[in-house]
Amino acid sequence: MIIEFLADGFEDVEALAPLDLLRRAGDEVITVSLNDENTATSSHNVTYTTDKKLSDLNDLAALPEMIILPGGMPGAKNLRACPQVCGLVMNVLGNGGHIAAICAAPLILGELGFLNGVKCTCFPGFEKKLTGGIVADTSDGGKVVTDGQFTTASGMGMAIRFGIELVSVLHGKETAEKMQKSIMS
């Protein structure tokens, strides 16, 4: 199971592209709102219905194998301010799981101290928030980076590549390449 958190102010494409691609790959991806209802409103004022709300996670039988943190503002800041999200990220990492963050969302991982020695990327201007991280040179293909338990991406324009990379992490490079060919005309 994969959990994708949707906090008010998230970037639509950064959430929907990886969600779509992972579901196409057959993964169970559960969208989770931080609100009291199963809704989250994007930075572009589009309200989405989520599969669950944060309080529903108290009944998880097992930790997810992956957590996805979309960017967008103030979405990334709202995720960072949520103790339950930060705690679950810590538990998933401690259990060998994978954390994926795009655009501004890698700031969460940097501020929590998880990026020490990890090659990573983010939206330009947020690099100082990647405390301890080795920031990839985005001019040299470092717009989507996987290093160990982390996949980070530079922004909305990389959302499909980010989703394809997550398919690769979970299902292997061959499956990801087939997925990429199937969605390109």
**CATH number, residue 54:** 3.40.50.880
pLDDT digits (tens, 9 = 90+) for 52-74: 999 999 877 789 999 999 999 99
pLDDT score of 140: 65
**Confidence at residue 35, expressed as pLDDT on a 0 to 100 scale:** 93
The overall average pLDDT reported for the chain is 95
Question: DSSP class of residue 40?
Answer: E
Give percent helix, percent strand, percent coil of the chain, each to the nearest 5.
Answer: 40, 20, 40
What is the C-alpha separation between 47 and 41, in angstroms, rounded?
4
| pLDDT for res 61 | 76
Q: Give this prediction's pTM.
A: 0.96
- Interatomic CA distance for residues 73 and 90, integer angstroms: 22
- 130, 150 contact by CB (below 8 A): no
Q: How confident is the model at residue 185 (pLDDT cuts 50, 70, 90)?
A: very low
- Confidence band of 184 (pLDDT split at 50, 70, 90): confident
Range in 2-11, 36-45, 116-125, 129-138 the model is least confident about: 129-138
Instruction: Count the alpha carbons within 13 Å of 57 in the hemisphere toward its beta carbon.
Output: 24
What phi and psi, each to the nearest 5 degrees, are found at residue 68? -110, 130
- d(CA 19, CA 28) in angstroms, rounded, equals 10
Q: Which of 87-91, 108-112, 136-140, 174-178 has the lowest mean pLDDT?
A: 136-140
Q: What range defines the domain where residue 154 resides?
A: 2-183
Asked whether the predicted pLDDT for residue 142 surpasses 60, the reply is yes
Partners of 2 in beta bridges? 29, 66
97-141: pLDDT as tens digits: 999 999 999 999 999 999 999 999 999 999 999 999 999 987 766
Q: How many structural domains does the chain have?
A: 1
DSSP readout, 150-170?
Answer: EEEE-SGGGHHHHHHHHHHHH
